[in-house]
Amino acid sequence: MIDRAVIRAIAGPGGQGCVSFRRELYVPRGGPNGGNGGNGGSVYAVGDGHVNTLLDLRFHKTFKAGNGSHASSNNRHGRDGADCRVFLPLGTVIYDESGRQLADIRSHGETVLLARGGRGGLGNSYFKSATRRAPAFSRPPEKGEEKEIRLELKLIADAGLVGEPNAGKSTLLSKLSNARPKIADYPFTTLEPMLGLVRVDGDFSFVLADIPGLIEGAHRGKGLGHEFLRHIERTRVLIYLLDQSKEGSPSDTLKKLEHELRSHNPELLKKPSIIALNKADIASNRKGLRSSKKRPVISISALNGLNLNALRFAVKELLKNAG
């Protein structure tokens, strides 16, 4: 999954204004008739719900709008340059060269100006007045803006799976949704975030994201999870998936995961969450983890489907309460 890109947005310059005077037989003092130049085209970013990655922008890095046409005599104005549009997946955050956030694309069709086109030059007829009958000058056109734009995709999902490698996140995603992630018995089979649509009942569904496994030190660059921690920022609910068949206490694993989230962004721990203790078909020991109104604890088996419906409805309740 390509979720970062840097592009260059080049807006078009305006067209040149014309200095011209009417010259016709039997028309003395015809006066100025130079037209105005066309405006340069601008570069826009447009949210597109059918685009899922920034992959295309790895190969197409420069987006250039059209130039404004030059004006001519007889008050003929130049044509405006064609605008250029960059189609981006929903969840893309746009930054300028200084790192300032320009926009956060959330909806299909949302449009953001990246680089403004130059204004066209003004011909001498524009400056004609009662006291200035024959202006012999024009105003020069403006150059279009040229900017380096940094793009960062953060997936938009209702709930996100957080857990260590081999906790069973990919298996759970495949059982709950229509997604078909790679499943294997070795760590880091998930190399990129995966999304799946989970149907709870006839009138309710939610989007579930599987984030690559987190290991201790992920926020400092260890493993793969650090590259995708930012995708969790979009989720409304977190599902901590813990392997209860593993040696040691699941509460210790939970503390490690929370530490990595806190180190990346402390706001993540404020999200509503559920603890799902996986692999109940091997061992069903909660080892001190208890449910509460704020954080339910559900013992499940992603492999054989034990208590998956209970997990679906628990997520549904949290999402409804989260608004």
Give φ, ψ of 112 to 5 degrees. -130, 135
C-alpha dihedral sign at 302, 305, 310, 312: positive
Higher-scoring residue by pLDDT: 10, 320: 10
pLDDT tens-digit map of 129-148: 989 988 999 999 999 999 99
Q: What is the pLDDT of residue 261?
A: 86
Q: What is the pLDDT of residue 283?
A: 64
Q: Evaluate if pTM is beyond 0.85.
A: no
Q: Which of 289, 321, 322, 296 is nearest to 310 (CA)?
A: 296
Domains 1-153 and 159-322 share a fold: no
Give the highest mean pLDDT range of 21-30, 146-155, 158-167, 242-251: 146-155
In the block, which residue shows the tokens 């960059």? 86
Higher-scoring residue by pLDDT: 166, 284: 166
pLDDT tens-digit map of 213-266: 665 544 444 444 455 677 778 788 999 999 888 777 888 888 888 888 888 888
Q: Answer yes or no: are the C-beta atoms of 240 and 257 closer than 8 Å.
A: yes
**Domain 159-322: which CATH number of 1.20.1540.10, 3.40.50.11820, 3.40.50.300, 3.40.50.1820:** 3.40.50.300
Judged against a pLDDT cut of 90, whether residue 292 lies above it is answered with no
Q: Where are the domains of the chain?
A: 1-153, 159-322
Q: Where are the alpha helices (DSSP H) in the chain?
A: 56-59, 169-176, 229-232, 250-264, 308-322
What fold is seen in the domain 1-153?
Spo0b-associated Gtp-binding Protein; Chain: A, (2.70.210)
Q: What is the pLDDT of residue 184?
A: 46
Give φ, ψ of 219 to 5 degrees. -65, -15
Query: What is the residue type of 313?
Result: F
